Chain A
Amino acid sequence: MKIKGTPLSVPEVDMTPMIDVVFQLIAFFMVLSKFDQEKVDERVTLPKDQLARPPIVKRESAFTLNFGFERDKQGAITDPTPYIFDGDQKFTVDTVRSRLRQEAAFYKAIGRNVEDVTVEIRADALVQSGLVQELIQICQERDIEFQRFALKATQKSEF
């Protein structure tokens, strides 16, 4: 008996939907990573400097303190008292201790040595230096005990 087979056709792979999906995934993960890096507070106007460079080796443990002024939409200072901004909350230098204790307790709870954690200070260009020093001193107090500090600045272009 003769069986007639259907003629074989070479299937064509349409690459377009795959490229679509791949780009969607890339965009998705980029947006995720951007949100992860957003520890900055737009109320803080950092000083500018040519030599300010990100660390060559990424710090394993670091947290950021945003220290600046309340500003209006035009960027003018509306309250002369500088605050440490933490999301929706804000603290003065005198009231930030409890928040720093919480942060130190968190690192201890996850088994990190507090002395290895870097405190990145994003202080406004117009803040008084004494207040920044005071903030560092509070971070070093007995029940908080952070020891590493980095002062943030915006990279000023050479041109």
Chain B
Amino acid sequence: MKIRTGTNTTKIEMQMAPMIDVVFLLLIFFMLTLKIAEPEGDFDINMPIGAPAQSAVTDAELPPFKVRMEADPDTGELRQLSFNGIALGSGRGVFDVLNGEILKSVNALQAAGPGNLDRQEVEIDPDYGLRYENIISAISACSGRMVDGRMVRYISRIKFAPRREKP
């Protein structure tokens, strides 16, 4: 029997330079894909042209839910939030109360008939000097709520009331 001795083996040289190239490129790739800035979203909103009468019924033929927001004239903070004329209070927690009121109204709308919810509008009526962040909170409270990481939508048609004059 012939036994081969391994004298002919060639030494394999590892080339490190191309590997480092690729590793650095991967590093740049993942650095670029990393989201440093917080993602942005938005809310669609309408604004009626001109200044219709306060009691005007919308083209949806359902009177809009009215969210009135009064501001502290000195600080611009929310002083009073009302939903359909009922005062709900102030502070950050008031938007949860508004969210609850909207849910009750949404349930009533759905019980009244199919399709009502799609036609329903919310009218946001803020004081001129109110801080804008309160508007976003109110729109969010009317739009829906998060349940187990998923959004449950309430009302999608949201509009501004005619602008109030500067105090």
Contacts and interface: CB of A to CB of B under 8 A. Distances in A.
A63 interface: no
A23 B166 contact: no
A77 interface: no
A132 B43 CA distance: 14
Interface string A118-153: 001011111111111110110010000000111111
B42 A34 contact: no
A57 to B, nearest CB: 12
Contact of B135 (A17, A50, A129): A129
A111 interface: no
Contacts of A134: 163
Nearest to B166: A130
A20 B38 CA distance: 31
Contacts of A19: 22, 25
Contact of B25 (A27, A53, A129): A27
B59 interface: no
Interface in B132-149: 132-137, 139-140, 143-146, 149
Q: Interface extent on A, as a size class?
A: 35 or more
B127 interface: yes
Interface in A5-33: 16-17, 19-20, 23-24, 26-27, 30-31
A26 B30 CA distance: 11
A53 B44 CA distance: 11
Contacts of A122: 40
Contacts of A34: 32
B21 interface: yes
Interface in B1-19: 18-19
B104 interface: no
Interface in A85-122: 120, 122
B54 to A, nearest CB: 16
A129 B47 CA distance: 13
Interface string B15-39: 0001101100110110011000111
Contacts of A46: 40
A153 B38 CA distance: 10
B119 interface: no
28 contacts: A17-B18, A23-B26, A23-B29, A24-B25, A27-B32, A47-B133, A47-B136, A49-B137, A52-B42, A54-B41, A55-B42, A122-B40, A124-B132, A125-B132, A130-B129, A130-B130, A130-B166, A133-B163, A140-B49, A149-B45, A150-B42, A150-B44, A151-B43, A151-B135, A152-B42, A153-B41, A154-B39, A155-B40
Interface of A: 16-17, 19-20, 23-24, 26-27, 30-31, 34, 40, 46-47, 49-55, 120, 122-134, 136-137, 140, 148-155, 158
The 10 closest A-B pairs by CB, nearest first: A130-B128, A52-B41, A16-B18, A23-B25, A47-B133, A125-B133, A150-B42, A133-B163, A47-B136, A53-B41
